[in-house]
Structure 1
Amino acid sequence: MSGTDPRPVRRRTFVLGSAAAAGAAALAGPLAPHASAASFGWSDDGSNYVVDTGAGLVFKVSKTNGDLTSLVHRGTEYQGYGGKNSHIESGLGTSTVTVRQSGSTILISVAYGTLRHYYAARSGENNIYLWTCKADSSVTATRYIVRVKAGKFLNDEPDSYTYAPTTIEASDVFEKSDGQTRSKHYSKRRVIDYDYIGWTTGSVGLWVVRSNHEKASGGPFYRSLLRHQSADGGGLYEILYYGENQTEAERYGLQGPYVIAFTDGGAPSSSLYHDNLTTPWADSLGISGYVPDSGRGRVAGVGIAGRDAAYAYTVGLANSTAQYWGSARSSDGYFSIPRVLPGTYALTVYKGELAVYTGSVTVSAGSTTTLNTITVPSSNDPGNASAIWRIGTWDGTPSGFKNADLMTYAHPSDVRAASWTGNVVIGSGSETSAFPCYLWKDVNSGLTVYFRLTAAQAAAAHTLRIGVTTAYANGRPQVTVNNWTSSIPSPPTQPSTRSLTVGSYRGNNHTFTYNVPAGAWLTDTSQYNVLKINVVSGSGTTGYLSAGTAIDAIDLLA
């Protein structure tokens, strides 16, 4: 029996009291028939509905507000810190809470204004299935936080600030005595990168397995806080709409299930992952907004032509009510996106994180929409343009630039960051690694790039391009080439919240173009032309919170 199974043999032996029962239970899973658990059921202690899954997990839900008030696994309480419970947002307030049992499933329903939230337990499982249905903006954001007692899962990861006593930004970015920075925002991961988040002691694992995020906002590359650990306790999050670094409007409707899962220390069972999990047992529970698999469709693409084999490609579907995505097969670009709600969607093909193709697709319930080979026009990929020189790659990310990897899990002031200043020389062989991934008005504005041109190149006008992935406080580049200065470009639409200092370069990709006249170049081919990039904006404050931007690529076209 694998240590990652959510209901391993040795736990079942204890619960059912016989090796034979344990063997039968070992065959069970979220997609398999459930073994009966003698203690499975619910009760009412006056303040809470108490659910015993019959597998060593007992949890309580407040009858007053729908908070998860207790989470006991094998006799150990994990829930809560600082007098706070686990709940939607910071707690919903007075709600209508009901419970009912349907065979091997117990469903607790929470009604708060127009919002509906659900907890479901299955006989013999150490899992709690959750759904959240948000109908409008009466609740400001959409997250569920599992609050965990201090000391249960100690760590010192980027999103842990137990040992980081000095606050360096707002009230959520901290610095340790060794100069390393910590924040709950430093998850390292994009939504597309993870199936679950949590901790393990080696003998007990506590996880939140994420949903498919069909009602979330931000697409496959969105970054947000996923967990934290501090001296007070820990938190695990399912973030659906946080209002930070958002590139899309909020979507409404039912989201889930996402799962709170206990294990014997290993990862949660892959059968719980959003790509694998089906819940036919929930089809008739009356969950608001629930659409069974029979009411969904699938999109399949034969392939994608015109790809650059050096990059991974992702296909996204999005409209105002739902979003989905799938990876394109590296060999031919085939993709399949299942369980899509009926409707018409914008279809986007991403090279890395850069959109290089857009189209439209209509999905019907119970059927597959098959698409012929999608061809990405060569002109849609800026990396195909002939360039005199290029810094970075056109993939929609700052990958390869100085400090780029570190910035997904550290503050720019972190001791591990290389200097944010320094000039760049084309032809040095270190153009990209020497160029900082972020530019700020108050930190490294005026960064200089030196390059030579041939006589023929210097005799013609050329287009300079600067691609960015996001910006803070309307920061955007104005350039000077020798004695020629560009106009100040208009700021593109970008998220209005912090990004560069909270682990995210993800905003709206935008390319600035500058038509540099032939008269701007030096005619002496032995001399270096000097490109100076300044960050301009009337917004922002100082330091790393001054106006800034994240770089995708820079090139001078032939």
Structure 2
Amino acid sequence: MTPDPQPPTSHRPPASRTRRKALAGGIATVAVLAGAGLLGGQPWANAASSITFDTGAGVTFAVNTTNGNLTSLKHDGTELTAAGQAAGQFESGWSSATVTGKTFNNGASILISATNASIGVTQYYFARKNDNTIYMATDITKALNPGEARFITRLKSSLLTSSPVAARTAGTTSTVEGSDVFAFADGQTASKFYSSQRLIAQAPFGASGNGHGAYIVPGNVDMASGGPFFRDIEVNDTGTAVNITHYMFSGHQQTEALRLGLHGPYALALTDGESPAPRSMDFLSAYLPGLLSDARRGGVSGTAGGTWNGLRATVALAGPNGQYWGQVKSGRFVIGHVKPGTYTATLYAGELAVGTTRTVTVTAGATTSLAMTGSVPAAGTLFQLGTFDGTPAGFLNADKIETMHPSDSRMSAWRSSGYSVSNGAAKFPMAEFKSVNSPMALNFTLSSVPAAGVRLRIATTSSFAGGRPAVTIGSYSSPASASPAPADLDSRNVTRGTWRGVNTTYTFTVPAGALKAGTNTLSISTISGSSGATFLSPNFIFDALALDPA
């Protein structure tokens, strides 16, 4: 779709205006500006209190001209907005904003801009005839306080009755932690955090019911932070409203800083209930200030090699101008739609960075060649639990942690009198908590004692409150130098349904004198200078444990 060659008509409602009624399809509108380029049937109206637009495809919405909030969202004539809430807003909304509207193609499409200059944010809304979608983007020019950036829509839970079950907090009877994890009378838990998807696999998400569906279509996430495996809140039915959130940045186990610039585009699509298909939003570069078209971007392609033990490999780019990734197939990868700039390239096997990072420069209209190599760590030859893949997959409770709090009644017990390597990772907890299950005793057998002792590797995916492992075997106790403090992300991790943090491997060299032929016991403790209660005590998450001759 190409914009009208004529300059767009700009509309800024005056501070005050004499109201006058005009009938439009049986609806009273107020003070329509002259020269607005209306189509027959008045597809949009601009009044002192709001700018409204009717797509003609069953979607009508209104943007408040005082604060830039979406104040009304109708599907097939039914108001979806939750009572007393905004149909959409940046963060928790603003008290004031500079709001303008521009029409294109003789009024067949509209771009609404809401700017809060004090915090340096502009929220864009774009819609067009015969499309049941509101396309959006958010331009962030300053560091934010608090440091979150999200667009959230709050809709009627009485209408949109189908949403992710694990994130439905309506009907819970007690608070588990903070003000965001709750429990039902039967001990099952729910939280807004338990509806997340990894960015690399993120599909449209939302809620549906009674012939209506409202979904966020993620679009471009190149200006988000955290890399391909980062995840954040998406959908939460509180009973009062269904909150559907597009996160651009948060401090939830975040490993990168906020990227300044235009975030998106992304979209809010209304349907008869079905989930919409992902779609290209490149056409919006003709309308959104600062959005580069695909023709003004570049790409990276090349080869990737190494030993990955059957894990899916990904090449990811990260830099001030954005983040991008592509999966490796038959030893090759392609990453497209990349903004010009310089990036650090990382090869992942699963979610574990392997090999050496590379620096690559992308130019507009060109594809840069790149070769990446890297292999997963060698498996333990005396024993191994788990897989070196940057996740706790295979460990006890790892299959539940994305959608349940560790205290959930459906979780297996986190503490036992002892564990054995012979029982495998499935019987060994995915995480150790200082106040819950530390220390843990793991029995293993040596047919003979290696002359130089053994090397123990404990790979972790995340930590909380400085938690990290220390070990004892026989007469050996690991020195403090073997357990340096991990990166401090200043955020809850496993209780929020994520293991994604900074992968860290701790290596311990145990002398032969501390070992014996036959059964040995490895005791793993969580150490930290901090303290906490139960699952909010210092902790770390296992990726793998491996033992080899030193």
Fold in common (TM above 0.5):
yes
Q: Please tell me the residue identity of whatever aligns with 1:554.
A: L
Tell me whether 1:153 sits opposite 2:160 in the alignment: yes
Q: Distance in 2 between matches of 1:494 and 1:354?
A: 19
Q: CA deviation at 1:39?
A: 4.4
Q: Distance in 2 between matches of 1:38 and 1:207?
A: 29
Query: Contact conserved, 1:40 with 1:123, CA < 8 A, in 2?
Result: no
1:5-53, Cα deviation, whole Å (9 max, x unpaired) = xxxxxxxxxxxxxxxxxxxxxxxxxxxxxxx996463102431101111
Aligned to 2:142: 136
Aligned to 1:495: 489
- Counterparts of 1:406-445 in structure 2, within 5 Å, are 406-422=400-416, 423-426=418-421, 428=422, 430-445=423-438
Q: 1:288 to 1:55 in 2, by over 3 A?
A: same
Q: Distance in 2 between matches of 1:112 and 1:188?
A: 29
1:309-332, Cα deviation, whole Å (9 max, x unpaired) = 521111110012311111111xx1
Q: Distance in 1 between matches of 2:70 and 2:145?
A: 18
Q: Please tell me the residue identity of whatever aligns with 1:194.
A: Q
Tell me whether 1:461 sits opposite 2:461 in the alignment: no
Q: Distance in 2 between matches of 1:474 and 1:386?
A: 26
Q: Distance in 1 between matches of 2:268 and 2:87?
A: 15
Q: Distance in 1 between matches of 2:42 and 2:420?
A: 69
Q: CA deviation at 1:348?
A: 0.6
Q: Distance in 1 between matches of 2:41 and 2:386?
A: 60
Aligned to 2:113: 109
Q: 1:409 to 1:458 in 2, by over 3 A?
A: same
Q: Please tell me the residue identity of whatever aligns with 1:75.
A: G
TM-score by structure 2 length?
A: 0.88
Q: CA deviation at 1:200?
A: 2.2
For 1:137, what is the secondary structure of its paired residue?
coil
Aligned to 1:51: 53
TM-score by structure 1 length?
A: 0.87
Query: Contact conserved, 1:37 with 1:55, CA < 8 A, in 2?
Result: no
Aligned to 1:479: 471
Q: CA deviation at 1:333?
A: 2.6
Aligned to 2:305: 305
- Counterparts of 1:3-14 in structure 2, within 5 Å, are none
Q: CA deviation at 1:204?
A: 2.4
- Counterparts of 1:56-75 in structure 2, within 5 Å, are 56-75=58-77
Q: CA deviation at 1:82?
A: 4.0
Query: Contact conserved, 1:37 with 1:54, CA < 8 A, in 2?
Result: no
Q: Please tell me the residue identity of whatever aligns with 1:289.
A: G
Q: Distance in 2 between matches of 1:415 and 1:350?
A: 34
Aligned to 1:529: 520
Query: Contact conserved, 1:97 with 1:108, CA < 8 A, in 2?
Result: yes
Q: CA deviation at 1:292?
A: 1.7
For 1:390, what is the secondary structure of its paired residue?
strand
- Counterparts of 1:535-554 in structure 2, within 5 Å, are 535-554=526-545
Aligned to 1:279: 282
Query: Contact conserved, 1:537 with 1:547, CA < 8 A, in 2?
Result: yes
Query: Contact conserved, 1:37 with 1:53, CA < 8 A, in 2?
Result: no
Q: Distance in 2 between matches of 1:39 and 1:511?
A: 65
Query: Contact conserved, 1:37 with 1:123, CA < 8 A, in 2?
Result: no
Q: Distance in 1 between matches of 2:250 and 2:256?
A: 11
Q: Distance in 1 between matches of 2:230 and 2:328?
A: 19
Q: Distance in 2 between matches of 1:386 and 1:45?
A: 70
1:450 aligned residue (419, 428, 443):
443
1:509-542, Cα deviation, whole Å (9 max, x unpaired) = 00001111111112xx23x111000001121311
Q: 1:511 to 1:190 in 2, by over 3 A?
A: same
Query: Contact conserved, 2:196 with 2:232, CA < 8 A, in 1?
Result: no
1:389-434, Cα deviation, whole Å (9 max, x unpaired) = 00100000000000001111100000110010122212x2x32001
Q: 1:481 to 1:82 in 2, by over 3 A?
A: farther
Q: 1:477 to 1:39 in 2, by over 3 A?
A: farther
Aligned to 2:230: 222
Q: Please tell me the residue identity of whatever aligns with 2:308.
A: D
- Counterparts of 1:202-281 in structure 2, within 5 Å, are 203-270=211-278, 272=279, 277-280=280-283
Q: Please tell me the residue identity of whatever aligns with 2:212.
A: V
Aligned length: 502
Q: CA deviation at 1:284?
A: 3.7
For 1:283, what is the secondary structure of its paired residue?
helix
Aligned to 2:384: 390
Aligned to 1:99: 101
Q: 1:48 to 1:405 in 2, by over 3 A?
A: same
Query: Contact conserved, 1:205 with 1:262, CA < 8 A, in 2?
Result: yes
Q: CA deviation at 1:335?
A: 1.4
Query: Contact conserved, 2:208 with 2:273, CA < 8 A, in 1?
Result: yes
Query: Contact conserved, 1:217 with 1:240, CA < 8 A, in 2?
Result: yes
For 2:513, what is the secondary structure of its paired residue?
helix
Query: Contact conserved, 2:72 with 2:86, CA < 8 A, in 1?
Result: no
Most deviating of 466-475 and 78-87 = 78-87
Q: CA deviation at 1:470?
A: 0.5
Query: Contact conserved, 2:159 with 2:210, CA < 8 A, in 1?
Result: no
For 2:540, what is the secondary structure of its paired residue?
strand
Q: Please tell me the residue identity of whatever aligns with 1:432.
A: A
Query: Contact conserved, 1:494 with 1:508, CA < 8 A, in 2?
Result: no
For 1:211, what is the secondary structure of its paired residue?
coil
Q: Distance in 2 between matches of 1:138 and 1:513?
A: 39
Aligned to 1:364: 363
Give RMSD over aligned pairs: 1.7
For 1:356, what is the secondary structure of its paired residue?
strand
Runs (4 or more) in structure 1 with deviation over 4 Å come to 36-40
For 2:361, what is the secondary structure of its paired residue?
strand
**Percentage of identical aligned residues:** 38
Q: 1:68 to 1:517 in 2, by over 3 A?
A: same
Structure 1: runs of 5+ lacking an equivalent: 1-35
Query: Contact conserved, 2:74 with 2:80, CA < 8 A, in 1?
Result: yes
Q: CA deviation at 1:84?
A: 4.2
Q: Distance in 2 between matches of 1:139 and 1:486?
A: 41
Q: 1:100 to 1:538 in 2, by over 3 A?
A: same
Q: Please tell me the residue identity of whatever aligns with 1:390.
A: Q
Most deviating of 309-318 and 233-242 = 309-318
Query: Contact conserved, 1:38 with 1:54, CA < 8 A, in 2?
Result: no
Query: Contact conserved, 2:82 with 2:240, CA < 8 A, in 1?
Result: no
Aligned to 1:3: none
Q: Distance in 1 between matches of 2:40 and 2:206?
A: 29
Q: Distance in 1 between matches of 2:364 and 2:237?
A: 43
Q: CA deviation at 1:54?
A: 1.3
Q: Distance in 2 between matches of 1:255 and 1:295?
A: 17
Aligned to 1:177: 185
1:124 aligned residue (130, 134, 148):
130
1:192-220, Cα deviation, whole Å (9 max, x unpaired) = 22221112227322100013211111111
Aligned to 2:23: none
Q: 1:37 to 1:177 in 2, by over 3 A?
A: farther
For 1:406, what is the secondary structure of its paired residue?
coil
Aligned to 1:375: 373
Q: Please tell me the residue identity of whatever aligns with 1:185.
A: F
